[in-house]
């Protein structure tokens, strides 16, 4: 199904492709040789993927393009000329070892778990990793922008309006390592988490040099919610006071579900770091680096790198511009404006595609202002809209982020009171990061996305703040540790208690990711690798396949055809309304109509007209019917002149291809 060896090969490719150039870039910025390693993964990933995608859009996706973009960054790294202004200090390498180990927690969520009976168990976050189909699409066809693996009218390649840079990065790993999309996704999930934790540790070290701050920052970043402890104390009464948990959660949880949003948040923090350097000395090379990092953020997440960065990053830029003497202010603003123009040009193809998709889907404005729902039914409904606003800051943030909410705020105050030790001219960095965090929290608290079924904007907008507050929390706890050695132990005790309160949730997350959730469909799914191997033998890579979008829907808490998404490495002519919601430019009525059509056909109640519509409207060049489908016993394809039977496995599957040879290899 997947190969552990291939995952390791992808991980090695990621380290070579992103950490190597990232270290040269970070060292070129002026970080010490050891401290540069903390920033290298996030910086290398952002700049290499953005550069490689820009080149691939012109010359195609290939090994020479990947290597050319990587080599160009390495050559240009010295042009940055010490922009960060760092002095030589030794960063504790054991911190990166801990970051690499903690990053395994989200990666485990992607891996299948084989039970003693041979059944496969999957962790819940695999639902969001159904976008692995996009990684396979890019790696298999070698074309960007990629075709749409979910839907293509009349069987055409279609276009993708999704922010796909992270998946493009994973496709680079699959392409170089000769791996499957599922294997590359697992490696890329690990790497993105490792990069985020390294960035947190590097920032903590910058504000509090030594061993303690980065190590404590990692523990704070890894801590989870207070809910398990509060639930054990208050029982069911907890949900009468506060709404149940949502996707607004800590770093390891969000990386388990959506590592591309985490990568985008890293780019947002890096952008502020680069702007702080530009404020000290504006250079063309620094502006170019800022443009690539900003582009990487947007191309990985509209919610984080687009809307949140426009608000929070813009505020941070103004703080940098108007804090301190006026000398160099207008040169800095010109450099930032130039970087914004270049970044806008880089993301223009994806931005235009997203705007066109929004217009095609309809449904009104994709974002509205609305307080995040915090308080439960114990509070009268009429008061909630008013009280939810302060409750977000005073209740929800301490509950969801006990380890970093208060300690991070304390660390920010310390950073505002004094210049970071051992740095040169970085007294503006703390306020700028504070502005980024505050506006990120503000956006999470009052903005709601309407484009999907969930409030993805609110859940993801908080991520830059999570990274920044984790770093500040590490610095604050390290300062409290130093004070404790002098007899002042209250602050340290309070910080460690808050940190400990978040550990049960983190351990529970690790357990769920490692063991998965055994389901009734797990045994059938275990045999589906053979099914899709047979399909690939009969069906060419450009052919769209019709399969039951609701098949094995109990593999996850929400229905989706994971068998196709994870194993097929082939395009679907309609992969279900859940996938179409993210990828296809269809209105809600069109999605429902398509969903009903495919449900009828694979339930065995479809008509000849329905089968014809699959062929002519959706361009289904092949069909897969399995024993789990109602159509297995009342098969509408067996009597259709539009399809012929290409292969049948007794009591398992039938593979049909379109007549006339259009569905064959």
Nearest of 496, 481, 428 to residue 276 by alpha carbon: 428
Which residues, other chains included, contact 660 with Cβ-Cβ below 8 Å and sequence gap of 6+?
A: none
Q: Which residues contact 77 (CB under 8 A, 6 or more apart)?
A: 21, 24, 25, 27, 28
Res. 503: pLDDT tops 80: yes
The pLDDT-based confidence of 300 (bands split at 50, 70, 90) is: very high
Q: Which residue has the tokens 């922010």?
A: 163
- Percent pLDDT > 70 in the chain is 97
Handedness of CA 330, 332, 337, 341 (dihedral sign): positive
The contacts of residue 316 (CB under 8 Å, 6+ apart) are 272, 275, 432, 433, 435, 436, 439
In this prediction, residue 87 carries a pLDDT of: 54
DSSP readout, 309-373? IIIIIHHHHHHHHHSS-STTHHHHHHHHHHHHHHHHHHHHHHHHHHHHHHHHH-SS-SEEE-PPP
Strands (E), 487-563: 545-546
Euclidean distance between CA atoms 164 and 81, whole angstroms: 32
Residue 425 has pLDDT above 80, yes or no: no
Cα three-residue angle 339-79-290, rounded to 5 degrees: 20
Average pLDDT over residues 86-94: 77
Say if residue 418's pLDDT is above 70: no
Residue showing tokens 């999470």: 444
State residue 422's pLDDT score: 47
Q: In angstroms, rounded to a whole number, what is the distance separating the alpha carbons of residues 560 and 569?
A: 16
Residue 262 CA to residue 279 CA, distance in Å, equals 26
The pLDDT value recorded for residue 86 is 56
Identify the CA nearest to 193 among candidates 99, 91, 94.
Answer: 99
Residue length, the chain?
A: 665
Cβ pair 109, 121 in contact under 8 A: no
pLDDT for residue 424 is more than 60: no
Using a 10 angstrom Cβ sphere, with 0-12 exposed, 13-18 middle and 19 or more buried, the burial of residue 235 is exposed
Q: Look at the block and give the residue holding tokens 């959660």.
A: 249
Three-class SS state of 487 = coil
Q: What is the mean pLDDT of residues 244-248?
A: 92
**Weakest-pLDDT range from 346-360, 378-392, 622-636:** 346-360
Type and span of the H or E element at 51: helix 35-59
Contact partners, residue 612, CB within 8 Å, separation at least 6? 640, 642
Q: Specify the pLDDT at position 450.
A: 82
Q: Under a CB-based contact definition with an 8 Å cutoff, are residues 506 and 224 in contact?
A: yes
Contact (CB, 8 A) for 607 and 643: no
Instruction: Provide DSSP, 89-115.
Output: ----HHHHHHHHHHTHHHHHHHS-EE-
Q: Quote the pLDDT of residue 93.
A: 92
The confidence score (pLDDT) of residue 133 equals 95
**SS3 per residue for 566-585:** HHCCCCECECCHHHHHHHCC
| pLDDT for res 662 | 46
Rg (CA), the chain: 25
Report the distance separating Cα 468 and Cα 290, nearest Å: 18
CA distance 69 to 252: 30
The mean predicted confidence, pLDDT, of the chain is 91
**In b/e form, how buried is each residue of 373-392, taking b as 16+ CB within 10 angstroms?**
bbbeeebeeeebeebbeebb
pLDDT score of 661 more than 60: no
- Higher-confidence position of 325 and 649: 649
Question: What percent of the chain shows pLDDT beyond 90?
Answer: 75
Say how far apart CA 182 and CA 188 lie, in whole Å. Answer: 10
Q: What is the pLDDT of residues 267-287, one digit of tens each?
A: 999 999 999 989 988 889 999
The mean pLDDT value for 454-466 works out to 95
Q: Are strands 545-546 and 447-449 parallel, antiparallel or unpaired?
A: unpaired
Rounded mean pLDDT, 76-82: 80
* Cis peptide bond N-terminal to 145, omega within 30: yes
Q: Which residue has the higher pLDDT, 621 or 366?
A: 621
Q: Provide the greatest CA pair distance for the chain.
A: 86
pLDDT of residue 660: 73
Under 8 Å between Cβ of 602 and 636: no
* Confidence (pLDDT) at 88: 60
For residue range 467-478, list pLDDT tens digits in order: 999 999 999 999
Residue ranges covered by each domain of the chain: 4-142+168-174+182-513, 523-658
What is the side-by-side order of every strand in the sheet holding 653-658?
A: 545-546, 622-626, 653-658, 643-649
Residues 6+ apart with CB under 8 A from 309: 267, 268, 271, 294, 297, 298, 464
Is residue 34 pLDDT above 60, yes or no?
A: yes
Check residue 439 and give its pLDDT: 97
Question: How far is it, in rounded angstroms, from Cα 581 to Cα 321?
Answer: 40
Query: How many other CB atoms sit within 10 Å of the CB of residue 93?
Result: 10
Mean pLDDT of 195-208: 96
Mean pLDDT of 304-321: 95
Strand positions, DSSP E, 435-577? 447-449, 545-546
Between 662 and 250, the more confident residue is 250
Distance CA 370, CA 570 (A): 40
Tokens 């066809």: give the residue: 141
- pLDDT interval class at 12 (50, 70, 90): very high
> 654 phi and psi, to 5 degrees?
-130, 135
Least confident of 37-46, 76-85, 123-132: 76-85
Q: For Cα atoms 208, 199, 485, give the angle at the middle one, nearest 5 degrees.
A: 25
Q: Is the pLDDT of residue 423 over 80?
A: no
């Amino acid at each position: 199904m997947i190969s552990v060896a291939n995952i390791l090969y992808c991980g090695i490719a990621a380290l070579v492709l992103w950490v190597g150039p990232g270290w040269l870039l970070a060292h070129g910025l002026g970080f010490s040789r050891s401290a540069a390693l903390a920033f290298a993964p996030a910086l290398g990933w952002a700049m290499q993927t953005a550069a490689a995608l820009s080149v691939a859009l012109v010359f195609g996706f290939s090994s020479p393009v990947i290597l050319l973009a990587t080599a160009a960054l390495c050559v240009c790294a010295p042009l940055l000329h010490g922009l960060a202004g760092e002095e030589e200090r030794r960063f504790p390498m054991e911190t990166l070892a801990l970051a690499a180990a903690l990053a395994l927690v989200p990666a485990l969520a992607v891996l299948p778990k084989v039970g003693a009976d041979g059944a496969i168990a999957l962790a819940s976050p695999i639902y969001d990793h159904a976008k692995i189909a996009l990684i396979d699409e890019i790696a298999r066809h070698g074309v960007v922008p990629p075709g749409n693996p979910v839907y293509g009218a009349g069987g055409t390649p279609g276009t993708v309006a999704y922010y796909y840079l992270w998946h493009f990065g994973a496709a680079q790993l699959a392409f170089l390592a000769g791996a499957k999309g599922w294997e590359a996704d697992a490696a890329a999930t690990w790497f993105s988490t490792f990069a985020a934790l390294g960035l947190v540790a590097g920032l903590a070290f910058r504000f509090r040099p030594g061993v303690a701050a980065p190590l404590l920052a990692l523990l704070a970043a890894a801590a989870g919610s207070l809910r398990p402890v509060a639930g054990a104390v208050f029982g069911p009464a907890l949900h009468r006071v506060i709404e149940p948990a949502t996707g607004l959660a800590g770093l390891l949880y969000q990386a388990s579900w959506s590592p591309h949003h985490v990568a985008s948040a890293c780019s947002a923090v890096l952008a502020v770091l680069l702007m702080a350097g530009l404020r000290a000395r504006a250079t063309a090379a620094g502006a170019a680096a800022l443009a690539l990092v900003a582009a990487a953020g947007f191309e990985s997440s509209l919610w984080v790198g687009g809307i949140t960065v426009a608000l929070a990053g813009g505020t941070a830029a103004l703080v940098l511009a108007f804090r301190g003497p006026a000398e160099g202010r207008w040169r800095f603003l010109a450099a930032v404006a130039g970087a914004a123009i270049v970044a806008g040009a880089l993301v223009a193809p994806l931005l235009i595609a997203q705007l066109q998709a929004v217009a095609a889907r309809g449904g009104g404005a994709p974002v509205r202002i609305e307080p995040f729902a915090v308080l439960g039914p114990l509070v009268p409904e009429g008061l909630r809209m008013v009280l939810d606003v302060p409750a977000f800051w005073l209740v929800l943030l301490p509950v969801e982020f006990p380890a970093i909410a208060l300690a991070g705020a304390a660390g920010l105050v310390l950073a505002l009171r004094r210049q970071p030790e051992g740095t040169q001219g970085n007294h503006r960095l703390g306020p700028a990061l504070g502005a980024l965090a505050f506006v990120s929290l503000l956006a999470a608290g009052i903005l709601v996305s309407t484009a999907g079924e969930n409030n993805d904007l609110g859940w993801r907008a908080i991520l830059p703040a999570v990274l920044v507050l984790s770093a500040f929390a590490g610095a604050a706890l390290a300062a409290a540790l130093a004070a404790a050695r002098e007899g002042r132990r209250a602050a340290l005790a309070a910080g460690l208690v808050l940190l400990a309160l978040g550990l049960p949730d983190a351990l529970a997350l690790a357990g769920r990711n490692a063991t998965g959730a055994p389901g009734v469909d797990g045994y059938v799914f275990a045999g589906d690798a053979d099914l899709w191997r047979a399909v690939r033998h009969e069906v060419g890579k450009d052919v769209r396949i019709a399969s039951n979008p609701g098949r094995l829907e109990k593999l996850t808490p929400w229905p989706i055809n994971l068998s196709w998404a994870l194993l097929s490495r082939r395009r679907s002519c309609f992969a279900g309304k859940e996938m179409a919601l993210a990828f296809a430019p269809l209105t809600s009525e069109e999605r429902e109509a398509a969903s009903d059509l495919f449900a009828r056909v694979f339930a065995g109640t479809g008509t000849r007209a329905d089968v014809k519509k699959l062929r002519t409207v959706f361009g289904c060049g092949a069909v897969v019917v399995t024993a789990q489908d109602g159509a297995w016993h009342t098969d509408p394809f067996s009597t259709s002149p539009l399809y012929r039977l290409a292969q049948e496995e007794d009591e398992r599957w039938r593979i049909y291809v379109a007549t006339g040879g259009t569905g064959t290899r």
